[in-house]
Structure 1
Amino acid sequence: MIINKVEIDNFFCYVGYNEFDFDKGLNIVSAKNSGGKSHLFNAFHWTFFNNIYVDKQEDTTKKEWKAADNINTLPDYIVLNSNVDDVFKTAIKITLTAEFHENEEIKGDLVEYHFEKEIFFKKRINDVFPTSKPELQIWYVFNGETKYLDKGEHKWFLDKIFPVSIRKFMWFQGETVDELYDFSNPATLSYAINEISYFPIYENLVAITKKAESSISNKIDNELKKVKKFTVEQERILVEVEEAKRKSSSYDDRIIEAKNELLNLEDSIIKEEEKLKGVGKYSDLKLKLNKYEYEIKAVNDKIDFLSVQSKEKFISKWMLNKCDDLIKKSSVNMDVLSKEIKSFQKSENPVPITLPGPEYVQKMLDDNICYICERAVEEGTAPYHALKSRMADFKNNQVQKILSDNFTELNRFRRNLLSELPGISDEVVKNDSDIEKLIAQRKKLLTQRDNLFSGSGIENATEISIGSTTYEQILNKIRSLNASKTNTDRRILSYTSDKSSEDRRLQELLDRKAKIIQFDDAVEITEITAKKYIDVINSALINLKKTALNHLIEEINHESNVLYSKYLGGNTQGEIEIDKGVRIIDKQTKKTLSNLNTAELTAQKLAVANAFLSLSEKKMNRSFPLLADAPTSQFDDENTLFLTQNLSESFDQIIIMSKDYNKIKGDERASFIDKAKISKYYELKNELIDKDGADSRSNKKTYINTIK
C-alpha cells in the first residue's frame, strides 16, 4: 500500500487548500512545535477513524483521543474573519494505492482508492457550530467504472486494509509508543504472526492430516473386523482406542472453538477500546458538571438563607436602625410605667408578690410551718392569717403581676436593643456584601459550567449524560469482554491440559493395540498402506509447522535486532529476545536487562513493530505504510539520524512527522536527504498571514515548503 496524496481544506492550522504528495520510500515532514505536523497526522485519523488526538479538557499539557463529531476543526483565522450565518466546511481527501479488496489472491490488481470526508459549520455571534456530521465517501475506479462503497462497508473495508491486530504498528505517535503492543498477552504475538505470514496454513494442514489419519484408522479397524474375528481383549482395546480418539477430538474442537472465541473477544475489545476513545471525555465532563451543579446549588442555598435571614432581622431589629437616642429617651416613660404598675398593687407589703411564690405559700399553709423562719403555723394564729392574707394578695394582684412581668421583658428588650443598635449598619453591610460575593461566585460557576459545554463542543447536559452513560456502558462491556477473555484463556489451558492427558492415554492404548492386533501380510487392506503414507505426511507437517514457527520467530527476532542496533547506531546494551514476550537480554549472560533508558525502550518497541511490518512485505507480499508523528521524540540528535537513515530499508513507504530534523539546514540537509534516500521532504512553518497584524493564532496558518 502506498499513500499518494493528502489534500486538506480548512483543517485546524491548515487554512484554505493544502496538498501533500507522497511517494514510495521515506517521506519527511519537518516542523517546529505547533508547526502543523500533528494536525497532518490527525488528518489521517479524522478521515479514516473519525477521531483526533487533541488536548485534554481538564489538562491542556496532556493529550487524548476524542471523537471528532463535535470538535470544531476550522482554523481560528476562518472563524474570526467571517460573518454571522456564514457557512464553511472542513474537507480532506486521501488517495492511496492498495491491492484490490476483491482480489482472491494477495498481490493481485492494484487500485487507487479515494477517501473523501467533509463537515459543514455555521458561524454564530461568538463561535461556530457543526451543521452536519463528518461524512466519509470511499470510491475507486475499476475496469473504467467508478464505484462507491456503501457506508455499511466502510468499517469492514478499513479493517481489511488496516488490520486491527497490527494497526498500532502502522499508525502511532511518539507520545503513545508505550501503547504499540502488549506482548505480556501471548495472543498478541499469535495475532500479529497470522497477519504477516502463511503460518496458519501449516496449522490447517496438520489438522487436515490428523483427521485423515483418524478416519483411515477407523476404516482399517472396520475392515479387519470383516476378515478376522477379534478376541474379547482386542474388541475392548478397539473400543477404548475409539473412545480415547473421540475424547481427544472433542478437546481439539473445544480448543479451536475457544481460540476462535478468544480471537473474536480480542477483536471486540480492540473495537470497543476504539469506541471508548470517542466518548472517554464524557465521563470526566459528567463529574465536572455534577461538581459545578452541586456548587451552584450550595451557593443558591446560601443566598436564599441570607435573604430570608435579612428579612427576619429587618422586621425584628434592622427597621429600628439609628433609633438609639429615641430608645434611650424612653427611660422616662419606663419610669412612669413602672410607677403606674406599682399603683395596681393592692398590698402594702413591700416584698414583691413573687417572693415567695403562691406555690410555696400554699405549701406552708398545708404543712402548718413557715419554711422561711422554720416556725410552726397553727390554724387560727396570727402567722396563719398572715399567710392566708398573702394568698389573697396573690389573687388580688394577678393583673399587677402580669404587668410586672411584661414590664421586665420590655425593659430587657430595650437594653438588648441599645447594645445591638450600634452594629446594625455593619450587619446590613456585611449581609449585602456576603450576598454579592455569593452572587459573583455563582456567576463564575455558571460561566465555568457554560465553558464546559462550549469548550467541549457540546450543546447541553443531556448530551453529556448520554455520552457518560455510553462511556460506562462501553467500559462495562470491555470489563465483561476481558472477564470472558480471562475465562476463555483458562478454558483453553484446561482443555489443553485435558487433551494432553487424553493423548497420553491414547498413545498408551495405541501401543497396546499394536501389540495385541498384528497386521497379517495375508490380509489385503488398501487403507493399511495408505495409513503409512498419511502418518509420514502428518509427522512431516507437524515438524514443518514447528520448524516454520521457530524459523519465523527467529526471523522476527533477527529483524528486530538488526533494526534495534541500527536505530541506536550500534550502541545497544543488549539484544532483543522474542519468545512468549519481548525483552532485552545481555548478549553474554542471556539474563534480562532492566533499568534501560527511555530511548532504548522506545527503540525496542519500534524495532519489533517495524520488524512485523517489514516481514509482512517479505512473507505475504503485502506492504503497509508506516505513518509516525514524532517517533524520535525520546532520541538524541545522533540516534534520530540513525533511525531515519535506516527506516527506508524496511518499508515500501514511511511518512515521518517530526521537529527533530528542523536543525538541519542547507548543505547538511541536502547530504542527509541523499544519505537517507528521502523521497519527499516538506518543511512546515506556522506564520502570520497578515505580516502587520497581531501575533495571534487567529492570524496564523501553516505554510508548506517543499524541499524535495
Structure 2
Amino acid sequence: MGCGFEGYYKSNVFELVNGLNLIIGSNGDGKTTFYEALEWLFRTDGTSKADTKLISKKRSEELSADESADVRVAMTYEHKGYVKTLEKSFHFTKSYDGEITTSNFSFDLIEENGGERMRRDGLKFDYDLPSEIRKYTMFKGESDLDVFQSSNALKMLVETFSDVKDFEAYFSFMEYSTKMAEQAQTNAQKSDRKNSEKIAQLKRTIEQESSTLEDIENEIRNKEDEASNFAGLLKSIEQSKEASKLLVNVNRRIDTLTNKRAQVQASIKEDYTINLLDDMWILMGFEDIAEEYSQKISAVDKKRRKLENDYLQTAGAEKIIKKMQKETSFVPLPVHIPGQKIMQEMLDEEVCKICGRPAKMHSEPWNYMLQRLEEYKNSLKVDEDEEVKPYYQNEYIVELQKRDTILNDNLAEITKLRHHIQKVISNNNRLHDEIKKIDANLNNEIEAKKRILAQADGLTEEQLLSHLENISNWMDLKNKAVSRLEVLKGQRINHRKTLEEAQESLGKLAEGTSAALYAKIAALIRHISAAFKSAKETNKKRLLHSIEDEANVFLESLNTNDFKGTIRILEKANGQGEAVLMNSDNTRIFNPNTALRTTYLMSVLFAIGKLATQRSETEFPLIFDAPTSSFTDAKETEFFNVISNLDKQVVIVTKSFLKESYDGNLVLDQNKVNEVSGRVFRIEKKKPFDDKDLATIQTVITKVK
C-alpha cells in the first residue's frame, strides 16, 4: 500500500486475493484512512496532489530540522496479462521553525513486460479502470450506495454501458439530411405552376404544424420536469409525512391545553392581601369583636360627653349646656346616634327602633325624635358665633362611633364572609387541581413532541410542518402537470398526424415531376430518423431491464430467508433514474428498512459491475467502507457468506467481526471469521499510544487468514 500516509507510519502492505478481502478494525484504527488512500491514489483529474494533511503526524514529528521524508501510496495489479503498479507520492521537508513544505509530487503507472519496466504517466490508469467505471466500484458507507442519487447518473450509466451514445452523431446527420432533402423537394416543386397554390398551402400547414409540435415538445419537457420535480419533492417528504401529521396534531393539543390553562389560571382569584382589607375579609368572625368594640366605644364616648359637659358647665356656657343637656341626671346620647338615615326611617314609620315602642306623628316621642334629627342636622353646621372652644379639638371618637354604626349596620353581611371566603378558596383550590391535570397532560404532549422530533431524521419542527403544508400544494401541482401532459400528448398525436398527412400530400403532388425523387428521399430520411430514435429508446430500455434482471438475482441470494421485493430501475421524465423496490402488486415500497435498502442497492451495484465486466471483458473490483453497519449479526453473516462466493474481488473495510473481551478490549471474533471464505486482515493502533496526541498513532497490519 505505501508509507507515511496519515496513520500508516511505516511501510504497510495488503496482499489482496480474488474474492472477499476483509480489513477489520475498530474506530480510529485506520479503516477510513485505507479507503481514503485508495481514493487519493485513483484520482486522475489533477486534484488532491501534495497535501500536508496526508502526512503521518508521527513521521513528521520525528524529523529533525531540514530533514525530509516521503508519502507514498502504491497498488500493484494485473490487467489483461500485464502486471502494473500505480504509484503516487510526494516529498516533504521540515524547516528549522517546524513548518512542513512539500515537493517532488509524482504520479506514475509502471508496466512490467517480461524483464522490461516502462514508466508512464499515472493518468493512463484511466485506460485500465476508467473514471466512469470507478464511480461504480468504490463506496463509502451505506449512504453512498445509491448510484442514482446524482442528477446525471442514469445518463452516464446508459452512455457507459450501452450503445446509445453512438446514436447521437447519427441524429445530427439525420436532422441535416432531412432539412436538405425537404429543401431540395421545395426547390423542385417551385416549377409546378399547376399545383402551386396547393403546394403553398401544404407548406404553410407543414411549417405551422412543425412549429406547433416544437412548442408542444418544449412544453411536454417542461411539464415532465415539473411532474418529476414535484414527485421527487413528494418522495423526499414521504417518510416524514406521518411524523408531520403527528406533529401537527400534537401541536394542536398543546395549543388547546395551553389556552385552557391560561383560561383556568385567569379564573383563579388569589388577591388575598387586597381581599383582607378592601373586601373586609379580615372581619370574618367579627361578631364578638364588634360587640366588644361597641361597648368600648360607647364607654369612651360616654366619658367623652361627661368630660365635655363638665367643661361646658365650668366654662359657664349655659347656652350650649341648655342645648345639649336635659333636666335629667343621665348623660344624653350624642346627636349623631342613631344615624340620620335611621332617625328619618323611625319618623317615617312612626316607631322607635331603639326601644321598639310606637311613636305616632306629632306625639311626644315622635316630636322628640324629630328634635334629635334637627339637632343632628344643626350640629353639622358651623356656628360662627360660638365663643367657647370645644373641649375636643378633633372628632376621633366621633369617627370611631360612626365606624361602629357602619359595622353594626353591616354586621349581617360581615357574618356571611366566612361562607363567601370558604367558597372562594375552595374554588381556587379546585382550579389549581385542574391546572395540575392540564400540566400533566401538557407534559405528556410535550414529551410526545420530543419523541417525534427525535425520530424525524434530523428534520426541524419548522421543516416537518412545512412538509405537511407543502404536500397538498405539491400534489396539486404534480396532478396539474400530469393532467396537462395528457392533454399535450393528445395534441402531439393530432398535430403529428396532420403534419404527416401534409407531408404525404405534398409528396403525392410531386409524383410525375422532377421533385418526386427528392420527396421520396425526404420521406425515407424521416423514417430512418424515427427508426434511430426508436432504436435508442429500445437500447436504453434493454440496458435497464438487464440491470434489473441481474440485480434481482443478487437480491435473491443476499436476502434468501427474508423479505426482498423486486428491484426496478425507473426513468424519470427529466432524464434522471432511480432504483426502487416494488411489491408483487406493482406498488412501490417507499420505506424499506436500512438493511433491505443496503442489500437492494448493493445488488444494483453488483449487477452494474457484472455488466461492466461483460462489456470490457475485464473484472473490476468492488471496494466498500463500512457497508453493513445497520445489519444484525445473522444478516451480516449471511451477507458476507454470499459476498465470499462471488466470482469477483471485493474489498470490505469494516468493524464487524469484533467482540468485547473480558478486560473490555475489542478482539476478533474468531468463530465468525472462520465462517467466511477469503483473506482477512486486522488493523489496529500500535500500543502504547497517547489518546490525546496524534503523533503517537501508528496503524499496524496483521494478516489473520
TM-score, normalisation: structure 2: 0.50
TM-score, normalisation: structure 1: 0.49
